[in-house]
Amino acid sequence: MSEKATFLADSLAVIRGVRKSCQYNYHDGNGKTVQLEIWDTAGQERFGALTTSVYHKTRGFIVVHDISNDNSFNNVRRWLHDIDQHCDIPNPTRILVGNKCDLPEVMRVVAREDAVMFATKIGIQLFETSATENNNIEDV
């Protein structure tokens, strides 16, 4: 994908409580346009019907969990299952992100080793990030 992107929409558009944080069109250099949309449901169950409708033609997913919250990590399996059930694209790219790696170690609830073992077992990439300190965001 080309580094050049055309920003199409203001960030933070809210639709029924689900945040569509941005939409970009990238030109891949081969005359094709690739659309990138980022949706944030904050893992809330009440948005399940909307998120499944967004899954259908999606080619890639970034599933983010909070490393200081066991429930957040435990819900990763459900989100990945939902992707498998509702995405029409065979083998979409899936990435697992553990966020808040800037927190003191005593606040960490999800051991890095557990996240690595889980990601390795299901064959997806794992990143640890800090949105607060902008750590590893570009790597994802």
Average pLDDT over residues 80-102: 89
pLDDT band at 13 (very low <50, low <70, confident <90, very high): very low
pLDDT at 70 over 70: yes
Predicted confidence at residue 20, as pLDDT, reads 47
pLDDT at 127 over 90: yes
CA distance 91 to 83: 10
**Residue 135, SS3?**
strand
What CA–CA distances, in Å, run from 70 to 4, 93, 108, 129?
38, 24, 9, 17
Would residue 53 be called left, alpha or beta, if left means φ above 0 and alpha means ψ between -120 and 50 degrees? alpha
Residues 25-41: tens digit of each pLDDT? 666 677 777 666 666 66
Task: Spell out the domain ranges in the chain.
Answer: 1-40, 43-140
pLDDT at 11 over 70: no
Q: Does domain 43-140 have CATH number 3.40.50.300?
A: yes
Taking the CB of residue 64, how many other CB atoms lie within 10 A of it?
20
Predicted confidence at residue 86, as pLDDT, reads 85
pLDDT at 69 over 50: yes
Mean pLDDT (the chain) is 76
Q: Residue 62: which of 120, 119, 134, 133 has the closest Cα?
A: 119
Predicted confidence at residue 140, as pLDDT, reads 83
**Pairing mode, strands 13-15 and 18-27:** antiparallel
Amino acid letter for position 122? I
